[in-house]
Structure 1
């Protein structure tokens, strides 16, 4: 009810719909685990790199550039607009950094990070890590649909959904590789995707509070995604010694998302 007071129903519906599309994409990625199809670690790291490239392009072309354009239309002068977007990026990145420091979670390779974790089961540490990872993606979808460019929002959502497919696979494979059962691993990966429609609702509602919030929201979502790329995805994709494959995947993902944004946006 409150969402209807601050955001157009069509925008809210679009954010929810595409948030669930991203969640379904994460589920689709787990099918090889369900079917017991094996992938090499090199292939896993290349897919992680691909996801990082898609997110990097989405941050640049679907979030930061529109934020600069909208901020430029709202305020006088490029320095003011650039300052707003810069502040938004820093807010999103350092906000997620704070959550990363406070919330106990476990990286697939690096291990435990955050506050005391002695009383938490390892599976929930993985869940926390996945939620930290997926939240900015869903937030970006919601913020995108909160803006005036519905086509650009769909392009952004398509790109995020595309990178969620290998992400779902990597999550499930990582969980099985450390001893979790196949059904539990797939279940955790599937449930982790549900954070995205929830975050999408938050994003579209916050932006709906005021038009002035739109460039801030776009920039903050971009900052959060940049943090995830640098702090989570790239390090994980490089730790097994497959930097070249991961880098190639990143470049391919970046180029494909850039082409998608240019062709459809």
Structure 2
């Protein structure tokens, strides 16, 4: 199977990976067709798991390779990783300020970004879409790095990253569609909004792959950029959401399990 994947261009590989992560979001959103709802403790545990996967992927699949790739850059080895990491967080913060959105469980008065008359559903979906941008970029950068031929960039490691992000996208899809169903939306509309939030991932994956292929010297910065953006999402969005219903301990255990699962995937396959 690995040999078959290797025959494709890294950009095409990134596209396939982005489609896979989007598909996992859609699969999670499809739970609305067979479930009336999910216990909030279970959902918070799954969101905690997603946070753990994202944290582990940020270090093992992105930051650590960025540091290793900077050994011969002529700069202190930590500079590309630090600069890229902070830039990724600032990029997401900029999107937060420029694009109206609303996190699940929050009243309309707590919508972020510019004031708008957009519908609540639109703002909710935009919040998850913003969340998915760094995941798509991370996948794209990981596959685009293969074109650079660096020893720390391997196909199995890129696949492990895509697989890990795909796993954590499943509960995220549920976390969108099931609350929408409770707000009175039909099952079909709830599914549609749940899966469409992941549609940005294939696009972001292609952009990430093309960027590092065209400008190979920025690869360490790009890897760290994706890591910073993902950590921003975890701290600003995922962790607060899974802690807001009194299930902090369960969510925290989910985070630990998610971190370990992603660490094992990356170390075993990378």
For Structure 1 versus Structure 2, the TM-score category normalised by the shorter chain is over 0.9
SS at match of 1:106: coil
Q: Is the 8 A contact 2:47 2:172 kept in 1?
A: yes
Question: 2:20 is matched with which residue?
Answer: 21
**3-state SS of paired residue (1:109):** coil
Residues 1:87 and 2:83 aligned together: yes
Of 192, 200, 225 in structure 2, the residue corresponding to residue 195 of structure 1 is 200
Matched, 1:96 2:101: no
- Name the residue aligned to 2:121: 123
Aligned length: 254
1:30 partner SS: helix
Tell me which moved more, 187-196 or 46-55: 187-196
Aligned 1:171-210 pairs, distance under 5 A: 171-210=176-215
Q: Which runs of 5+ in 1 are unaligned?
A: 1-7
CA distance in 1, matches of 2:186, 2:121: 11
RMSD: 1.4
Match of 1:57 in 2: 56
1:223 and 2:219 aligned: no
- Rounded to whole Å, the distance in 1 between the matches of 2:182 and 2:258 is 25
Deviation per CA, 1:5-29, whole angstroms, max 9, x where unpaired?
xxx9610111000100001000111
Instruction: Answer whether contact 2:14 2:205 (CA < 8 A) is retained.
Output: yes
Return the alpha-carbon distance in structure 2 between the equivalents of residues 71 and 197 of structure 1: 28
Which residue of the partner structure matches residue 136 of structure 1? 134
Aligned to 1:159: 164
SS in 2 for 1:107: coil
Say if 2:181 and 2:187, in contact at 8 Å, map to a contact too: yes
Deviation readout 1:103-147 (Å, 9 max, x if unpaired): 100110234111102x21111111211110011000100000011
What secondary structure does 2:102 align onto? strand
Residue-by-residue CA offset, 1:11-69 (whole Å, 9 max, x unaligned): 01110001000010001112321112431011110000000000000001000000111
Structure 1 match to 2:241: 236
TM-score by length of 2: 0.91
TM-score, L = length of structure 1: 0.92
Q: How far apart, in 1, do the equivalents of 2:240 and 2:79 lie? A: 29
State yes or no: 1:254 paired with 2:259. Answer: yes
Aligned to 2:65: 66
Deviation at 1:76, TM superposition (A): 2.8
Distance 1:101 1:70 in 2: 32
Q: Which runs of 4+ in 1 moved over 3 A?
A: none
